[in-house]
Structure 1
Amino acid sequence: MTLTETAYAKINLALHVRQRRADGYHELETLFAFVDGGDTLTARAAERDELRVTGEFAPELTDPFGNIVARALNTLPRSGGLSITLDKRLPVAAGLGGGSADAGAVFRIVEQLHALPDDWRDRAARLGADVPACVESRACVGRGTGTELEPVENDLAGAPVLLVNPRVPLTTGPVFAAWDGTDRGPLPEGPASVMAREGRNDLEAPATALCPPIADVLAALRETDADLVRMSGSGATCFALYRDTDALHRAAQTLQTSHPHWWQMSGSLR
């Protein structure tokens, strides 16, 4: 039997950094959302665990044993091995939780075959702060380091979304280190649309300072007929939400023509 799972791209519709913690991490409040596309994982039973990586961004994953997919397999108890092919379609170090989404897809594959252990959330959190949210891949609020999840009224499900990345990798650590330390307040209350509209991304300014092309992407998206434009996570991917698919397709075509070297993906929010 062959199983196929999509590692849904994660975006942060809002990301509020509240304070630096004593443990070196940051206290966050974020609104997670997921796009209906991303990497693809194909799995089948095998004598031992195997991982093969294909796709446009496969060359950027140079350590198969350090890959989070392999680590996710190692953290889940089960009988027998799995041979997994990862079709890497999402850019790496892009603010889309690509690796976390891949790990989340592994958890879902194992759940279908063997069920997950009761402490799967703790196991997921040890792989990365975004992994617990990516296992379920549905809109939610994340607090703490992002692992304390709360449900949210998801009135943005189905919203057309365009993701754009300038093809410049940006690792998370330096962006958090460049945050100015100012607490600009909590997430607003309400459904996802209110949180997104009235929220912000506190990492947008430090990320743009480290990666100036982010400003170009944001400016180009704001010239389209978008309802909301923002950077996701720690960058450098930015997103735009649209009222209908026609507006999305016009925007995607415009940016493809004016900036053909940029990576982009169109989809809908889950």
Structure 2
Amino acid sequence: MSAETAYAKINLALHVRRRREDEYHELETVFAFVDQGDRLTARVAAQDELRTHGEFAGQLTDPFGNIVAQALSGLPHGKGWAVELEKRLPVAAGLGGGSADAGAVFRMVETEHGLPEDWHARAAKLGADVPACVRSEACIGRGTGTELEPVPNDLAGCPVLLVNPRVALATGPVFKGWDGKDRGALPEGDLRAIALAGRNDLEAPAIVIAPVIADVLEALRRTAPWLARMSGSGATCFALYDTPQARDASAAAIASEHADWWQMSGALR
């Protein structure tokens, strides 16, 4: 039996630089990962199987076309694996949930069989966030997000609160809503410096589509984190705190005001 956590991905900063001729966008982003997420287990079976359960399993409309099944079929792992996926992260939420699930499959295969030399290319074919999610370590992503660079990580262990208003937000329309203005490159420095001086260029177009995101950001900022920002293309927002006590008090305050919002507490890896 093999088990892995599919760590939630957040974008501490996400700078959109230009639209490319292939209709993708040139990005500069800082990936960070929370120590919480979906959970996967696998056991040897006669053929590949995927079973899903958990709070958000019902949002996976096609389990056989699921990115977990695609990742598994694209990697050497013996005769077959029966995979159980506990879907704890909301879908289409800016947390890289599917990509994180695929990344967890890569790590399980690596433990049991090793990864092929071209694992990065195989991961990138599944999605732009998947290569970063395989390692689930803080890094800078360029290009479409698949060109990865190390970054000094001074935020390991930083308390983080994730909040989603239970609104699914497709990535395509948010990118389409970007105004096309290049607001400049990522700042340099360690993670905290980049996060503080950075931005998320998809925040504004996401709020146009889902105005409740602005309410989530306002609610988080009232709890006095040192940073609150939307992750990815939304609608999940995150807040970073100096102490677990501050994070937990904030989580309780938001839960009392907005009992219908999803939230998850953890720490950065």
Which TM-score band (shorter chain)? over 0.9
* 2:45 aligned residue: 46
* 2:152 aligned residue: 153
* Farther off after superposition, 59-68 or 165-174: 59-68
Unaligned runs of 5+ residues in structure 2 are: none
Matched pairs, number: 269
For 1:265, give the aligned amino acid: M
Contact 2:76 2:109 in 1 (8 A): no
Provide runs of 4+ in structure 1 moved above 4 Å.
none
Q: How does 1:1-270 map to 2 (within 5 A)?
A: 2-270=1-269
SS of the residue aligned with 2:195? helix
The CA deviation string for residues 208-257 of structure 1, in whole angstroms up to 9 with x for no partner, is: 00001100000000000200000000000000000101100110000010
For 1:96, give the aligned amino acid: L
SS of the residue aligned with 1:65? helix
**What is the rounded CA distance, in whole Å, between the counterparts of 1:155 and 1:94 in structure 2?**
26
CA RMSD, aligned part only? Answer: 0.5
How many percent of aligned residue pairs carry the same amino acid?
70
**What is the rounded CA distance, in whole Å, between the counterparts of 1:266 and 1:195 in structure 2?**
22
The CA deviation string for residues 118-140 of structure 1, in whole angstroms up to 9 with x for no partner, is: 00000000000000000000000
TM-fit CA distance, 1:77: 2.4
For 1:183, give the aligned amino acid: D
For 1:50, give the aligned amino acid: E
For 2:139, give the aligned amino acid: C
TM-fit CA distance, 1:43: 0.6
Contact 2:160 2:265 in 1 (8 A): yes
TM-score by length of 1: 0.99
Unaligned runs of 5+ residues in structure 1 are: none
**What is the rounded CA distance, in whole Å, between the counterparts of 2:87 and 2:148 in structure 1?**
27
**What is the rounded CA distance, in whole Å, between the counterparts of 2:153 and 2:82 in structure 1?**
35
TM-fit CA distance, 1:88: 0.1
TM-score by length of 2: 0.99
For 1:119, give the aligned amino acid: D
Contact 2:223 2:250 in 1 (8 A): yes
